[in-house]
Homo-oligomer: A and B are copies of this chain.
Amino acid sequence: MVNQDDPRVLRTRQLIREAFRVLLQKKEFDAITIKDIAQRATINRATFYAHYEDKYALLEDITEQAFHKMFPEQVINAQEFTGEICNQLILLTHNYIVNFYQICRFDSKSIATLVDEKIKEMLQQMIESIFLKGDTSRMSEHHNAKIISAMTASAIYGAAHYWFMFRENDRTDLLVNIACPYVMNGLGLYRNCDE
């Protein structure tokens, strides 16, 4: 609909996202109106709809942006899914969850499912892209790469989320000690079966 590279578009979206982030700290998600967002962003309400279908689409967008910033170069450039990469993914996911509940008001948990799904989706994409880059295990030729990625992403997210809810957030070393071998073994089994 609009040209994604137009500087006006970039600025407008930046304004909308920033306004939304501020509002999320002040109000719960359900209480935030499009009017609120438009006012704080100093844009017209009609302009909002030129960029986002509703506030849920906006939430997805900022979630994606925020989570994407968590990925270190090492992970983005990874050529193989090693234990070290697995560690990194577990830690950054846990880290994101901790931040999320610090930033968002606690009564905004109505949005948790949407955010969860988005994060799992991004984790899955990242993992799959690593699988496809390094084909040492010929994973790249395997038609099951997608479901393997989905399982791995879910496992990592599940571990990070559980640790956040029920364990000490300052002992992430224990988290990776448990979760990483589980994930790597699962993949290892798969590799063995494949050959």
Contacts and interface: CB of A to CB of B under 8 A. Distances in A.
Contacts of A11: 11, 42
Interface of A: 7, 10-11, 42-44
Contacts of A43: 7
Report the copy number of this chain in the oligomer.
2
A42 B11 CA distance: 9
Contacts of A44: 7
Contacts of A7: 42-44
Nearest to A43: B7
6 contacts: A7-B42, A7-B43, A7-B44, A10-B42, A11-B11, A11-B42
Nearest to A15: B11
Listed from nearest, the 6 A-B pairs whose CB atoms lie closest are A7-B42, A11-B42, A7-B43, A10-B42, A11-B11, A7-B44
A43 B8 CA distance: 8
A7 B43 CA distance: 7
Contacts of A10: 42
A74 to B, nearest CB: 31
A7 B11 CA distance: 13
Interface centre among A10, A11, A44 (most CB of B within 10 A): A11
